[in-house]
A and B are shown apart, each in its own frame.
Chain A
Amino acid sequence: MTRYRLRGSSLATLAFVLAGSLALSACATIGGGDTPAADGSSSAEARTPLARGLDSATNPDPFPSTYRGLPRENMAIVGGTVFTGAGQRIENGVVIVTDGRVAAVGDASTPVPGGYRVVDARGRFVTPGIIDVHSHLGVYPSPGVTGMSDGNEATNPNTAQVWAEHSLWPQDPGFNTARAGGVTTLQILPGSANLFGGRGVTVRNVPSVTMQGMKMPGAPYGLKMACGENPSRVYGGRNSSPATGMGNVAGYRAAFIAAREYKAKWDKWREDGEGSPPTRNLQLETLAGVLDGSVLIQNHCYRADEMAVMIDVANEFGYRITAFHHAIEAYKIAPLLAREGICADMWTGWWGFKMEALDAVEANAALVDAPAGSCAVIHSDDAELTQRLNQEAAAALAAGRRIGMTISEERAMSWITLNPARSLGIADQTGSLESGKRADVVIWSANPFSVYARADQVFIDGALTFDRSNPAYQPLSDFELGQPGFGLSAANVLQGAR
């Protein structure tokens, strides 16, 4: 996730300038520990870096993932109906998992290596782990009481400097219920009060004491942007800008103008080392990350007309939009989104809660999916809905079929697996059962497009993280201990079995 590459030829001058500026810093004496690894061009002259924390390039990953995955074993999941997530359906399929990665996927003739544990999935369905691109678990956790509402830094329309991972409470029991619904990866986003709400974080859905223990290694950051009613309502209500849609757009443009200047200063300083180094600005740093492509735009945007404007803003400043979230009206511009290569992240059933959600149609995902190059995604934004994204996809599939569209279940499965992985920039890592990818696998009791299907087993990186029939794999968060009903079975079902 390196955002800024130091250029070797500039290192010498860089060091020269730094020597002068460091005298101003009280922290100068601790700067030495962060010297970045030489990139092969090492100048003979000793380079003194900026004081610790003043140059993002010296430590591009200041809150590094400590995710290791749970204990795993090599296994072969055999006999089930496999949806690969990449469009294939294999009856009586075999999924080979080696060292936490998918080693092979095929039909019954696929050889099972010796010593592998064989998981019998006969009569059941096997899919990639579900990926929810829009979650507020941990930042708007359960219980949503005073002291726990940490999802919206609604203090300024531009808070690109905040990171959702710094609000994330790993003990949110919603992570456990989501996992019981087959969710293995989530993007946790800040709320949508602001034009720029801050950075999201992509997490592996494993129980962890720390945020870092869930953070997905190598996943790109996303910047939450918001169109429409929310920012203009929040700030207009305070008699400040933005109060309108046009105020929103002026705000985006002003921010990217500043980000362009900021990026140019750093680029120049890194290039020629002349003058004082720029002062690090976390807000502009995130926006500059958008401009250099290292931070992906995750843009809450309901209306088709607003999405079209946002595409023009992106073109004006030379960045690209990875995904529109809550894209209620994506079906009105499905061909445009496909041409632009922008994912549309959608609900099926939500509508009518505000004017910009008025034109929702259940066939949205099906219609968005139709053009070549499309990227239709079903998302939740909700701790309950995230547990049933398979059903939300089923309802969208049914709505498409109702108007005569020919859509297979294996195709619709991509709306909650491979396409969300594309929407997060992690499709090379997960989202489908294909060789080399992380073995994020769900074994369902029945066809996941049925309301009666339950996730029986959920594997993350090849490790069993949830088993509906084995209490040893039914985690409870710290919060859940000792609460009313704790330890009691409801209708003969253990609490952890969900």
Chain B
Amino acid sequence: MRLKSLILGAACAAALFSTPALAQSLTAITGGRVLTGTSVIENGTVVIQNGRVVSVGTAAAPAGARIIDARGKVVSPGFVAVDSGLGGIEVSSVGGSDDLRNGANSISASFDVSYGLDPWSFTLPVARLGGITRAIVVPSHAGGGGGGGGHAHDDSDFAGVGHGGYQSPSLFAGQAAIIHLAQGNDILVRARVAMVAPFGEAGAGIVGGARGAQFTQFKETLAEVRLYARNKAAYDRAGLRDLSLSRADLEALIPVANGTMPLIVTVRRAADIQQVLRLAREEGVRIILDGAEEGWLVADQIAAANVPVLLNPLANLPGNLETRAARMQNATALDAAGVVIAIKGNDGAHRVRETRYNAGNAVSHGLPYEAAIEAITVNPARIFGMAGQFGELRAGAAADVVIWSGDPLEPLSDAEIIFIGGAEQAPTSRQFLLRDRYRDGGEGAMPPAYSR
């Protein structure tokens, strides 16, 4: 699996450099404090060419290279947003611009967000200016995961009673994709990298209201998937009993059932985390926990199961009765227990740029600085099967490099120069255009509309 991932990742990465002339030039970033993702190099040199990192160390810049003087600066890998909606939603309240959630009961697990991604989305430059260069884009659901943020759950319709005999709504929100945030006309790095499903209150709400019912439903669903996988020919000639998912959804769940595609489980309560860990063990499903606000109470169990966690370290209030144990030290405790964590931004798309502040706040609440950097660089790449491909400054990785005016976790620091896949990105956004238009008060003789 890992090897296959690496090969696929390389092929995809090679396809996405949309400004080859820039991306291919030999460039050396010298003199900066280099955060490689796993270590710190003072007065380091980062050499990039052809869209990839050539070397990272303390050697002199190679002859003929464009030199970027980063003395007094910090050089980091581009950050990787997890649980994001970047490129999949423009304005949260405008339903037509939200391509992260699908209501049809015949396209649930099979829903693939990658087809709805917009490389021209104005959410991308804003996140990029926050140092985000790659993102995992996930379908959203009633459990509050993903780019759309929380949704009010419609409890008028329960799984198993939908049209066509299919679960409606489904346990599954759909499949996540990996994108890069470079300018250009193709942001997809890899589609269908993980399945998404809410558990806890939201998951229970889908099934009928009770948590226990969802576990039964989940097991029954996987049994149907396995039955289908073993009997496709019979299914195709209608020689199999009725199943509660569409053919497309059954097909999409095969890699989940056989443990090759991870399942991102949004779950918050410690008790629910324990049950989800048990379910994964019993069913042979690979899971990634998302949310896990009460995870610190069962940190050792999560670590023992070797299950990674996507979390927001700012969550310290009981938004509902599932998160009464939420603490600012959750990230610290999970990391200390040996859990691989990735730190999220503050919503799916628009405040993803605050990911770096979230990492900083985790540090101020005990998380070691290096662990915080890992949680927004190498860890997301590891969790989603892209270790060594991006999220790290090391030879062979994609040249996603950000040069910061100072410590990137500080709000007072700016991302000054941003490379994605070796291509230097224009340091602007729609917000910057607006800002500049009104920089001088907007009361000149000519209306602001005449300025660009």
Contact = CB atoms under 8 A, between A and B. Distances in A.
A490 B362 CA distance: 13
Given A484-B324, A490-B330, A403 B439 contact: yes
A411 to B, nearest CB: 14
Contacts of A383: 317
B328 A498 contact: yes
B397 to A, nearest CB: 27
A177 B285 CA distance: 38
Contacts of B351: 349-351
Given A351-B431, A451-B357, A397 B412 contact: yes
Contacts of A174: 317
Interface stretch (B17-25, B33-41, B47-55, B88-96): B88-96
A360 interface: yes
A340 B28 CA distance: 52
B174 interface: no
A352 B349 contact: yes
Interface in A249-275: none
Contacts of B365: 491, 493
Interface in B368-406: none
B42 interface: no
A372 to B, nearest CB: 12
B439 A352 contact: no
Interface string B419-437: 0000000000001101110
B326 to A, nearest CB: 8
A143 B319 contact: yes
B356 to A, nearest CB: 9
Interface in B237-282: 269-270
B22 to A, nearest CB: 23
A485 B93 contact: no
B321 interface: yes
A361 B332 contact: no
A454 B364 contact: yes
Contact of A484 (B270, B414, B431): B270
B92 to A, nearest CB: 4
B360 interface: yes
B333 interface: yes
B412 A332 contact: no
B135 to A, nearest CB: 15
Nearest to A143: B318
Interface string B308-340: 000000111111110111011110110010000
A332 B442 contact: yes
Given A449-B412, A483-B325, A485-B327, A354 B436 contact: no
Contact of B412 (A370, A398, A454): A398
A2 to B, nearest CB: 38
Chain A interface size band reads 35 or more
B236 interface: no
Given A353-B93, A355-B94, A403-B436, A145 B320 contact: yes
Contact of B438 (A229, A331, A453): A331
Given A367-B435, A391-B411, A352 B321 contact: no
B316 A451 contact: no
Contacts of A398: 411-414
Contact of B364 (A229, A353, A451, A491): A451
A272 B327 CA distance: 62
Interface in A391-424: 391, 394-395, 397-399, 402-403
B344 interface: no
Interface string A342-371: 000000011111110011111100010011
B207 interface: no
Nearest to A172: B317
A144 interface: yes
A315 interface: no
A294 B439 CA distance: 36
Q: Pick from B321, B431, B436 the residue with the most CB of A within 10 Å.
A: B431
A212 B365 CA distance: 33
Contacts of B333: 490-491
B253 to A, nearest CB: 32
A222 interface: no
Given A391-B357, A484-B297, A491-B366, A384 B314 contact: yes
Contact of B435 (A361, A454, A484, A498): A361
A388 interface: yes
Nearest to B314: A384
Given A144-B320, A145-B321, A403-B435, A394 B328 contact: no
Contacts of B93: 229, 353-355
B124 interface: no
A402 B294 contact: no
A449 B320 contact: no
B435 A353 contact: no
B142 to A, nearest CB: 15
A350 B413 contact: no
A371 B91 CA distance: 31
A488 B365 CA distance: 16
A452 B91 CA distance: 32
A495 interface: yes
B439 A452 contact: no
Interface string A479-498: 00001110010111101001
Given A360-B431, A451-B411, A333 B90 contact: no
A143 B349 CA distance: 25
Interface in A312-342: 331-335
A449 B353 CA distance: 18
B323 to A, nearest CB: 8
Nearest to A409: B412
Given A144-B320, A398-B411, A451-B360, A354 B91 contact: yes
B64 interface: no
Contacts of B434: 359, 361
B411 A353 contact: no
Interface string A267-289: 00000000000000000000000
A143 B366 contact: no
A498 B365 CA distance: 9
Contacts of B319: 142-144
Contacts of B435: 331, 361-363, 367, 399, 403
Contacts of A453: 364
Q: Pick from B318, B346, B439, B443 the residue with the most CB of A within 10 Å.
A: B318
Contacts of B330: 490
Nearest to A338: B441
Contacts of A352: 90-92, 123, 349-350
Q: Pick from A331, A454, A491 the residue with the most CB of B within 10 Å.
A: A491
A450 interface: yes
A452 B438 contact: no
Contacts of B217: none
A484 B294 contact: yes
Nearest to A334: B441
Nearest to B349: A352
Contacts of B270: 484-485
B16 interface: no
Interface string B67-82: 0000000000000000
List of 9 A-B pairs having minimum Cβ-Cβ separation, nearest first: A485-B325, A451-B360, A352-B350, A490-B329, A491-B329, A354-B93, A491-B332, A394-B411, A395-B411
Given A353-B350, A485-B270, 18 more contacts: A143-B321, A144-B319, A177-B316, A335-B441, A349-B346, A350-B350, A351-B350, A354-B91, A367-B438, A371-B441, A384-B316, A394-B411, A451-B360, A484-B269, A484-B325, A485-B297, A485-B324, A493-B327
18 contacts: A145-B321, A173-B317, A177-B317, A332-B448, A334-B441, A353-B350, A354-B93, A391-B361, A399-B435, A450-B410, A450-B412, A451-B361, A451-B409, A452-B410, A484-B294, A492-B366, A493-B366, A495-B327
Interface of B: 90-94, 123, 126, 269-270, 294, 296-297, 314-321, 323-325, 327-330, 332-333, 336, 346-347, 349-351, 353-354, 357, 360-361, 363-366, 409-414, 431-432, 434-436, 438-439, 441-443, 448
